[in-house]
Amino acid sequence: MAVKMLLHRAAWTLQQIPLLFLFLLLHLPHCQSGDEDQQTSAPSSAANIRDKAFFTTQENTLARTLQARDSTTVLSLNDATFQDSLVTKSEKSEHAEQTTIPHIKTVIQSTELDDLTILSAHDPKGTRNSKTGVIMKAPYQIRSNKPVLTKSRIKEPASDDQPGNLIPVSPQKLLPAKAEISRADLPQATQPLDEGFNLFFKTNPAEMLDVPITFSKPFPTWVNGTLVRNGLGKFENGPRKFLHAFDGFAKIASWRFTGDGTALFSTKFIRSNFYKDSIRSKTIAPYLLFQSVTPPFSIYEKAQCLMNGIDNMNINVYAFKHPKNKKIEYAVLSDFWILYKISLPKLSTKHRVVPRMKQAQHYIAGVGGLGFLNLLSSAHPLPEPGTDNHLTFLSSVAVMPWADHTMKLIRMKSLKRRRVIAQWPVAKLPYMHSFSVTATKAILLASPFFVNVYCMATKVEPFSCLDWHPEEPTTLYVVDLKSGDLTTITMETVFTMHHVNAYDVSDTQIVMDISTYPNPDFVSHLQLHVLMDPVARNSFDAHAKLKRITIDLTKREAHLAAVDPRPVPGIVSLLDMPAINEAYRSRHYCFVYGLVLKVDNVTLSNIAIVKKDLCHSDGAGGGLGDRMWIQPGIYPVEPWFVANPRAAAEDDGLLFIPVLNGVQKTSTLIVLDARTMTLTNSANLPTIIPYSLHGRFFHGV
């Protein structure tokens, strides 16, 4: 066995020699900044995107009227008493009195006391508003048919120490009925809308274990387990800084609910090799990153990056059950094959895991050289229905130009054990972040966003080496979970990061829902210098669109359609970071929750938590159960649904959402009723949580 292992490792090492030679041969002095003189006909890449002007705010800006009928709940978005208009610049100048474009209907819940407030106000002349700190590029008008707020509905601001009241709400004056509201008439936000947002991307070195936190109300005893979230915690080390948010050092946070109505909070950095080497060297160690660092790595350090590969597991966290002893093992992961095993509830980092597969064409011994290109995988494994297994994919790049790349669907039988269900060659290897699974099939959606091997060998920067080819179609790879049979279908070009859910309609028909973008440009705007600049981050289009793909395997056809077909879809249909009741994973479902950024179409930090009803139409493109929760100065991240164990309905449960309170400069865990989207509970945390990407609730832990 030892001899066989040595032979495998020797073979793998020999494979790296031409790769490193390719790196040394092709690496040019200007590689760090990119080759700006390449032919203009080449496809756009992430490197080119960052040099383009930011998306400008659409000329059609959101005009909002909040007409309050009942301030005791978050009302339905399709309630007839709530109206919004989207008024274009030309309409205001030519026939503003006659023409409006129907938009969504919404209500904003501001605090646990169910106050209502208007989200924001801007100077119609396009100048900076001294109170909100926000520049609006186009004028707008607001029409009102009913009073927005009455003094009787406004409660006095709560004291800062009142539990559960995240931001005191200032009284708003009554707006006259049937009047065009000017900026002077609008209620003003008490704090700049962007205040404190940058704390999401500021290093917090604090670590702690089992710190008691106090909720504003007693917690349901059926909530028994641990919520764990993975994300970013540190954005520089010594003289070097990261350039892209995706590269922040991994840091996890947890909330342990003991079943007696209390909770314990913990947070720690992941002690990866990358993290430990960086701390030891007092700089950012040379490992492969999504983008690079400043000051940049030297040529020698870039070669080290290739040898060290990817090691920063800052995206997600999962639990895997061993098939024999049924022991649960926990791991943090990213879009690559390797994982780091962690322990709960202590959040300690155990060791690195590089799973091996006997059925793989190439022995997987490590991640050095360009070998990391054989380890492209998903940060979102999915449970295989009816089993304790999970599913993922593995993409392998062929470095030699005459060889095909390979894609594989993988069955994860435990943290370390893997089996190939199906594999197939592809001419170009796509980048994929997630995928979908039904009761019988797995569906991989391959957008024309391809890995550029030449670029990888020269720039050593994956961010710059993903090429977008909008002229090429999107390809669906549908794999039968039992037989491994593959069906390939092409469809119109679309890009997605996050799949919502999928289910079988019949043996040959599938429904799959995804959050879509017209292209991957938004990824470039997640660079730290953009996110830390209010003007820059407010200048790009941050909206996804929820769309449904219907797949016919017999006809080999797939049709893409917006869930909300209106020219101006409702806000809830612009969600990303989706969450569902996991009991409805891979089967017919009705509700999806998520985040909508830039709700007012002006300010990125105007973030709503939304609920989309996919089953009960209001006849106009919306859903009868559509809901949203939003509060100025409160910046939420991805929600997670925890079902009531005695639930009789799909949406009977709680949404757990960590939020950043930009006004108070604190982090808070809020809890929403998943049926009504009303705030039911909250607890302030002892430290700020920088931006977290994904997480899960582990029952009974």
Q: How far apart are CA 212 and CA 200, in angstroms?
A: 23
Q: Is 433 annotated as a binding residue?
A: yes
pTM equals 0.77
pLDDT of residue 193: 60
Query: Which residue, among 575, 650, 640, 580, has the nearest Cα to 608 in the 3D structure?
Result: 575
Res 147 pLDDT > 60: no
What tokens appear for 439 in the block?
A: 């009761």
Segment among 33-42, 410-419, 601-610, 679-688 with least mean pLDDT:
33-42
Greater confidence, 256 or 621?
Answer: 256
DSSP 3-state of 314: coil
Segment among 6-20, 417-431, 515-529, 662-676 with least mean pLDDT:
6-20
Greater confidence, 240 or 221?
Answer: 240
pLDDT of residue 248: 98
What domains sit in the chain, N to C, each tagged with a CATH number? 11-17+23-54+196-699 (2.140.10)
Q: How far apart are CA 637 and CA 626, in angstroms?
A: 19
Q: Is 498 annotated as a binding residue?
A: yes
CA distances from 308 to 23, 208, 302, 393 (A): 14, 30, 10, 22
Q: Which residues of 80-95 are buried (b: 16+ CB within 10 A; e: fewer)?
A: eebbbbbbbeebbeee
Average pLDDT over residues 479-486: 98
Segment among 1-10, 316-325, 527-536, 657-666 with least mean pLDDT:
1-10
Query: Which residue, among 457, 466, 465, has the nearest Cα to 303 in the 3D structure?
Result: 457
Segment among 10-24, 249-263, 382-396 with least mean pLDDT:
10-24
pLDDT of residue 363: 39
Res 317 pLDDT > 90: yes
Check if the beta carbon of residue 355 is closer than 8 Å to that of residue 341: no
Q: Please state whether beta strands 142-144 and 179-181 pair in parallel, antiparallel, or not at all (unpaired).
A: antiparallel
Segment among 318-327, 494-503, 590-599, 642-651 with least mean pLDDT:
318-327
Show the CA angle centred on residue 434, arms to residues 430 and 440, nearest 5°: 105
Instruction: Tell me what the pLDDT averaged over the chain comes to.
Output: 77
Average pLDDT over residues 415-424: 94
| Residue 372 pLDDT grade (very low, low, confident, very high; cuts 50, 70, 90) | low
Q: How far apart are CA 226 and CA 248, in angstroms?
A: 24
Q: Other C-beta atoms within 10 Å of 222: how many? A: 15
What are phi and psi for residue 542, nearest 5 degrees? -105, 10
Query: What percent of the chain shows pLDDT beyond 90?
Result: 59
- Sequence-distant (6+) residues with CB within 8 A of 62 are 84, 86, 103, 140, 599, 600, 601, 602
Helices (H) and strands (E) in the chain, counts: 9, 41
